[in-house]
Structure 1
């Protein structure tokens, strides 16, 4: 039975409100002319944020648990599944991020997508995305979490391929139309790639669930946590279950080796990129491992795999971002790298540090993507940073907020990334020194590629007048700048929620989150922490200085390393060679065989279909013909029985 504290509102309203927006906009699109559909969708997400704030403020020492109804009560396995929502400090924080950042992205989208022919449908998909992500983080069981997990996968497919027909494909100009059609094919391929690669991860998630049920007899997360403490099972089995869950997390969060879909996801509209990278979907893998911390504590080898997958992915993403030319792809590979940081953190047991970086990353990455979208819009859809430059003169406010985003992701004091990244590096230094070294190198590379992004876009001379046809780019409108300003403030100030002890703070965020997940011990000496902080700051400042020097020398590419980086370390080429080419060869061979035997197979098919052709004469679609057939059939049966009775003499 649903039980809600009197001072709060029901939890089910969180996913229900945006889901209601999705239903209204999809079923009654004509009822929302102009931009009204966008405002309805935005308002419902805003209401969900109000609910999230209400439940956050109403938290007590006991987590909130609301069961709506029993799900599959007659299951043969007697799994006792229910549709219920669970709110503790972790899920409350995730709900605030999803609805808060999601609301700002919705507001931004009203302006950005204002002239799109499918404006209302776009907002319906955005609402669906937010709703499914809320189900994922509030679910009280793994199966219900999987419902949200699949929902965000479907939403990402719909939004990445939103421009499946390509912009300009209906233009009367043949060149523009052909370019639009090519773009449409590319967008559709990117959506399919994301969908397929995520199915690999989903298989891992399902296998993990099956094994956990076999081991503990339940998939309710709270019950599972209790039984994991009290029921002794083979350590190897728990390790395997955690590795299966890791495969699911790798797919959803774009980690190695299932990472190549995430940069291609930039095919969708820029607000979609911000929503996927900052507030939804890709953070789901980090959430899954953090929510399953009680299992990973029993599986040290699986945890080590999590840490190393994160560390290597962070390095891969940073190296791939060094020499990209697409303004959004630089940020996309950056997300791959920053998610690697989060995996590294939770893998070494620093769950609070990983989640705190998830929070700070939500602000500065949403800010950077939306600033990039403002630039793209001002330059009439141009995305090549080599055709930009000097935009600070034309877009001063967008330039100002972009600085906040760059400084935050580069880990420069006092911006938010400084606090969260340093916490991860300190945890890695304490447990895995080699991973600490990798993380420090990634910090240097991050500052460099983001400095390069900044200098190529904002400083120097404007290089795009001839290439883009835009002589004087315009500043973003008010509806765009308001979300950017709020995100910039968050990217600057949110780090102060977790000031470490050696800087005079008390790890307030760690203390808050420690009520739901284990709080890592801070046993590093203050002098050591000061040393680690100095190294991290030097990495950030050094990377920005390196980018500035390269910009001054007009050294936009970097030789062999630049070619490797621009091709994302050739990982896609490797997959094409190992998987794509053999699959195409097998398909071609089967097609040849099929065509060669077409005559034989066709003849057999014709003979087999001949009797069916007689029956098609009766299947005319006319009810009167069927009535006559029934009448004749009934008469024939009565006649048969009459003749049989006469013949028997009865």
Structure 2
């Protein structure tokens, strides 16, 4: 089975659903999209059993052949190809497996949406681009997938760009318009902030090509060992790659787009936060381990960016009221854990937490979506409470997700988070203290989320039709059940030696990435585990005590946490406000000079306006241009042939 089929199948679904939507009435488009992702998952499973210690590569075609780097430089052939090793196989299984469950859930969740078929086309496109990203055998091809998931996130975050109300209902027009503007702004914000990260990725690629003459990942790994290179240039290249990873994974300082991504439908939140886009930065650093191992300064930056982001996300989540934003800031924090691990060269620990996080975070987001549906699109946790009586199944699986993310034995987060804290203890005591504190805060804000939503009495506004919450249908509960089982049992894939296991996951992944040797005594590991578990238990008990006192709606840090430590305000004052001031001043100056400034700009833009007539955005115009161009080329060669014959 060729590797290109893995991204091709969902890409085919995207093309069919976008170009021929009328062939898929009702829910058939959702089933087609889900079936193609399932088929990719099954193909990935079949390839998984053929894994060897040697990476398997498949080249589709040569791209930019025989590139020479300067005079006498090395010649490099850049190909379009895919690689299959333990890391890409794991990422593929996560993307297609969890992605399939989210697709199935979405069939019910989005069933009444007017753009149902288009939504699934975008989901398929998202999955396809993410598969290209993790399967690529070179950085440029990885960048193609990188940009693809950025485009898909823009389309899905802003999917409800016109709001969700009934367009014919005049009473909801203002609310729909406000919601649509907010959703569009969130999509633009994600797109723009990711472009900053993408610039870093590109600059990193340019430096690597200048230093080593290739951007093929396997060739780079070989040349790092054999070619003399400037260490400072390598450090700078890795720092640029870090900028790319920071943008895609929502780390400080480019983190504010990720909570705003909640503007998209809840399945989008689950897909972005659990199985696809935000894991791309962690994957980039892990795949580039042979570079970061030789760049200690850049690696330290990765670790500290992760540690500080983990703390920022946890503090911001403490006093949020939106049921999804609490989870969004939690994602920011958990990604910080992963960055901290890979920055400390504990790559297997970081990737293992990526795996367990995909399970419990997808579970929590989809459970939140079921709650939002049950209470008629309400998202304020202060308007919930006591929902366990109305939604017993969703309550149980949500509790499993909370226990998993809080690091309570035997749930998966206990094993993966413990491995990261142990790596931090070995390498950097300050990062260990931050990680342990974040574990305490995580358990508190997730306990707060649980108690405000599920315990106590129902606080919903009966006047707004919220009086009768209901359990979700089987299409939504079935994926929740599967994810709950994975969130509960997934940690047993990597039981440490001191608990009677053999680090099976570490052994598996060590065939693709370096494995850090553990030098901690068993007694110390027991102590570290006890401290981590104590942090989780204390955090949950703290939330329970606040629940009994009725003070959970005013969490620690109060308004500072609600406003996410005012980071958005800082950006607005430093960037947005000055830009608006300059624009306003130019507008006043234009009016005072009788439009002189405007006329200059219009004259400067006039040549570009000619090209806009050609780049109209209409596919039929492009088709005519292609037809005329082809006819012109054929005519030219025909005349040349005739002339030569004469």
Fold-level similarity (TM above 0.5): yes
What's the offset of the Cα at 1:232?
2.2
- Alignment partner of 1:16 out of 8, 13, 17: 8
User: Secondary structure in 1 aligned to 2:59?
Assistant: strand
Change over 3 Å in CA distance of 1:522–1:601 after alignment to 2: closer
Q: Is the 8 A contact 1:313 1:336 kept in 2?
A: yes
Gap regions ≥5 residues in structure 1: 1-8, 609-650
Q: Note the alpha carbon deviations across 1:32-62, whole angstroms, 9 max, x for none.
A: 0000000000000000001110111111222
> Where does residue 375 of structure 1 map in the other structure?
371
> Where does residue 149 of structure 1 map in the other structure?
146
Q: Is the 8 A contact 1:321 1:330 kept in 2?
A: yes
> Where does residue 402 of structure 1 map in the other structure?
398
1:580 lines up with 2:572 in the alignment: no
What's the offset of the Cα at 1:466?
2.5
Q: Is the 8 A contact 1:387 1:467 kept in 2?
A: no
Provide the C-alpha distance between the structure 1 equivalents of 2:288 and 2:96, rounded to a whole number of angstroms. Answer: 23
Provide the C-alpha distance between the structure 1 equivalents of 2:257 and 2:602, rounded to a whole number of angstroms. Answer: 44
Q: Note the alpha carbon deviations across 1:69-109, whole angstroms, 9 max, x for none.
A: 01133757554111100011000000000000000000000
1:62 lines up with 2:54 in the alignment: yes
Gap regions ≥5 residues in structure 2: 70-74, 605-646
What's the offset of the Cα at 1:607?
12
Alignment of 1:75-474 (within 5 A): 79-168=76-165, 170-174=167-171, 176-466=172-462, 468-474=464-470
1:569 lines up with 2:572 in the alignment: no
User: Secondary structure in 2 aligned to 1:523?
Assistant: coil
What's the offset of the Cα at 1:576?
0.3
Q: Is the 8 A contact 2:318 2:556 kept in 1?
A: no
Q: Note the alpha carbon deviations across 1:155-183, whole angstroms, 9 max, x for none.
A: 00000000000011614242x22111100
User: Secondary structure in 1 aligned to 2:550?
Assistant: coil
Q: Note the alpha carbon deviations across 1:280-320, whole angstroms, 9 max, x for none.
A: 00000000000000000100111000000000000000000
User: Secondary structure in 1 aligned to 2:401?
Assistant: helix
Change over 3 Å in CA distance of 1:295–1:603 after alignment to 2: closer
Q: Is the 8 A contact 2:353 2:416 kept in 1?
A: yes
What's the offset of the Cα at 1:467?
5.8
1:41 lines up with 2:58 in the alignment: no
**Which of the two has higher C-alpha Rg?**
1
**Runs of 4 or more above 6 Å deviation:** 601-608
Provide the C-alpha distance between the structure 2 equivalents of 1:398 and 1:279, rounded to a whole number of angstroms. Answer: 21
Change over 3 Å in CA distance of 1:447–1:606 after alignment to 2: closer
Q: Is the 8 A contact 1:379 1:468 kept in 2?
A: no
Change over 3 Å in CA distance of 1:302–1:577 after alignment to 2: same
Q: Note the alpha carbon deviations across 1:572-625, whole angstroms, 9 max, x for none.
A: 0000001110011111111222233345578999999xxxxxxxxxxxxxxxxx
Q: Is the 8 A contact 1:382 1:468 kept in 2?
A: no
Provide the C-alpha distance between the structure 2 equivalents of 1:231 and 1:520, rounded to a whole number of angstroms. Answer: 25
Change over 3 Å in CA distance of 1:599–1:340 after alignment to 2: closer
What is the TM-score when the length of structure 1 is the normalising length? 0.90
Provide the C-alpha distance between the structure 1 equivalents of 2:56 and 2:286, rounded to a whole number of angstroms. Answer: 18
State the number of aligned residues: 600
What's the offset of the Cα at 1:229?
1.3
Change over 3 Å in CA distance of 1:234–1:447 after alignment to 2: same
What is the TM-score when the length of structure 2 is the normalising length? 0.91
- Alignment partner of 2:471 out of 472, 475, 481: 475
Q: Is the 8 A contact 1:357 1:421 kept in 2?
A: yes
> Where does residue 628 of structure 2 map in the other structure?
none
Provide the C-alpha distance between the structure 1 equivalents of 2:454 and 2:21, rounded to a whole number of angstroms. Answer: 40
Change over 3 Å in CA distance of 1:233–1:379 after alignment to 2: same
Provide the C-alpha distance between the structure 2 equivalents of 1:579 and 1:602, rounded to a whole number of angstroms. Answer: 24
